[in-house]
């Protein structure tokens, strides 16, 4: 007899299609893996060294639920330096990953039967984190228009009904690279204020942006009276995916709830990881700029390769490191990604993994060296032509 989870909301969750596909290639060293969303290079040495030193000093004890105060102060200083913001450590909760930040943010505000409105396609973990709590998720489509992804704000607002408790917005977006501009963010915030809705903003890709230094953020628009939670992470900007370190920015009065919820989810984060985070914030700016410059160059190469393929439609991303493209005639993205894997030896994420709005698309992570990407594009050319 198969033993299953008891909670209906857990039973209803679907496994990730990206994992499902990549599991079929375990042990195949010939595959060029462009399906996962992470920088190809390891964490910079100076960040690794900070963690090693802390470990050698014996920093192996429990830590405060909200994170060590030096890291919370460093995060406030980092954001105040980047944005027109006036944050302090009291606005910050450090979390073991952006994913956990998202999960505990939703635990604080979403109740069973609430609706959460989410622009989509989107990284599947966002809707899943709400659904696991028994919330209904309502997806509002991002659509390509004039070569770029757009969100129709009237459509977003119309999707918010009586039982909607929150807007959950991932900008810059995984997988499309779409991002809100400042004026759109202001309109969304005004709408949330007017309708007394929570705003949860996932800004994990805020530093990987191609025509400016940082993406428009809700951080410089919210006040202490707004019902907001902003999710961020060290994973992408500082190439720290495996470390599991993220943070939430929230009104000071909400931090006490986050502290309690943190205690009962993970209690605290390993001190050497947090100390590595402080070093990343203080000395990591050059690394962010260099890696973004590298991704920008590779993006240009992907654009020109796709330009030569008339079957491929590629609305260019403004941020993040994904090419989300459609291939004329492809209706089943999972079956096509399987075919690309089998015939071309390239691992892509099927667009359907990001919701029904992603069907027909494929996601390629271009955080990779140019020669490897050129090889992948060359190997895929016959199938994409
Ligand atoms: C949109 C988005 N938010 C959050 C995360 C979570 O990042 P992490 O849990 O590694 O901090 C990811 C990771 O891929 C993501 O794409």
What are the pLDDT digits (tens) for 274-303?
999 999 999 999 999 999 999 999 999 999
pLDDT digits (tens, 9 = 90+) for 227-237: 999 999 999 99
CA distances from 262 to 63, 121, 276 (A): 12, 29, 20
CA-proximal residue: ligand 1, atom 3 (nearest):
204
d(CA 177, CA 240): 20
pLDDT at 14 over 90: no
The rounded Å distance from CA 329 to ligand 1 centre is 31
120 CB within 6 A, ligand 1: no
* pLDDT band at 1; cut points 50, 70, 90: confident
* pLDDT band at 15; cut points 50, 70, 90: confident
Domains of the chain and any CATH numbers:
8-43+286-384 (3.90.1150.10), 58-283 (3.40.640.10)
- What average pLDDT does the chain have? 96
The rounded Å distance from CA 241 to ligand 1 centre is 9
* pLDDT band at 27; cut points 50, 70, 90: confident
The rounded Å distance from CA 385 to ligand 1 centre is 32
Q: List, in order, residues 6 or more apart from 288 with CB less than 8 Å away.
A: 207, 237, 238
**Ligand 1 site-directed mutation target among 35, 39, 124, 125, most atoms within 8 Å of CB:** 125
Q: In this structure, is the dihedral angle defined by the CA atoms of residues 126, 128, 129 and 135, taken in order, positive or negative? A: positive
Q: Which among 119, 46, 42, 109 is positioned nearest to 248, based on CA atoms?
A: 109
Q: Is 350 exposed, middle or buried (0-12, 13-18, 19+ CB in 10 A)?
A: buried
CA distances from 322 to 59, 319, 326, 329 (A): 37, 8, 13, 21
Measured from the CA of 241, which atom of ligand 1 is nearest?
Answer: 10
Q: Which among 251, 279, 275, 219 is positioned nearest to 46, based on CA atoms?
A: 279
The rounded Å distance from CA 98 to ligand 1 centre is 5
**Ligand 1 site-directed mutation target among 171, 235, 240, 243, most atoms within 8 Å of CB:** 235
CA-proximal residue: ligand 1, atom 1 (nearest):
174
What's the pTM? Answer: 0.96
pLDDT digits (tens, 9 = 90+) for 226-269: 999 999 999 999 999 999 999 999 999 999 999 999 999 999 99
**Ligand 1 site-directed mutation target among 204, 236, 321, 324, most atoms within 8 Å of CB:** 204
115-120 vs 136-145, strand pairing mode: parallel
202 CB within 6 A, ligand 1: yes
pLDDT digits (tens, 9 = 90+) for 292-351: 999 999 999 999 999 999 999 999 999 999 999 999 999 999 999 999 999 999 999 999
């Amino acid at each position: 007899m198969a033993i299953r989870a008891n909670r209906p909301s857990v039973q209803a969750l679907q496994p990730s299609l990206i994992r499902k596909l990549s599991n079929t290639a375990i042990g195949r060293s010939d595959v060029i893996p462009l399906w996962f969303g992470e920088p190809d290079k390891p964490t910079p040495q100076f960040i690794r060294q900070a963690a090693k030193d802390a470990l050698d000093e014996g920093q192996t004890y429990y830590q405060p639920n909200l994170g060590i105060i030096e890291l919370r102060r460093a995060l406030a200083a980092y954001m105040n330096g980047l944005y027109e913001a006036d944050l302090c450590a009291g606005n910050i909760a450090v979390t073991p990953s952006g994913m956990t930040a998202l999960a505990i943010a939703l635990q604080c505000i979403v109740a069973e039967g609430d609706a959460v409105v989410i622009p989509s396609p989107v990284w599947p973990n966002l809707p899943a984190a709400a659904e696991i709590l028994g919330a209904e998720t309502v997806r509002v489509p991002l659509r390509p228009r004039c070569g770029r992804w757009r969100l129709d704000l009237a459509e977003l607002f119309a999707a918010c009904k009586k039982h909607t408790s929150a807007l959950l917005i991932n900008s810059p977006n995984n997988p499309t690279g779409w991002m809100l501009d400042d004026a759109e963010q202001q309109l969304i915030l005004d709408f949330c204020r007017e309708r007394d809705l929570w705003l949860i903003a996932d800004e994990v890709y805020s530093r990987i942006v191609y025509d400016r230094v940082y993406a428009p953020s809700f951080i410089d628009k919210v006040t202490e009276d707004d019902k907001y939670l902003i999710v961020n992470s060290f994973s992408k900007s500082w190439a720290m995916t495996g470390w599991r370190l993220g943070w939430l920015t929230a009104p000071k009065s909400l931090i006490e709830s986050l502290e309690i919820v943190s205690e009962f989810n993970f209690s605290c984060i390993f001190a050497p990881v947090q100390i590595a985070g402080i070093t990343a914030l203080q000395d990591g700016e050059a690394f962010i700029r260099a890696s973004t410059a590298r991704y920008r160059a590779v993006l240009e190469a992907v654009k020109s390769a796709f330009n030569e393929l008339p079957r491929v439609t590629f609305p260019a991303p403004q941020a993040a490191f994904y090419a989300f493209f459609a291939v004329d005639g492809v209706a089943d993205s999972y079956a096509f990604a399987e075919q690309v894997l089998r015939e071309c030896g390239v691992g892509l994420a099927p667009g359907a993994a990001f919701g029904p709005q992603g069907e027909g698309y494929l996601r390629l992570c271009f955080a990779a060296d140019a020669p490897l990407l050129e090889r992948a594009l060359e190997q895929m050319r016959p199938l994409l032509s």
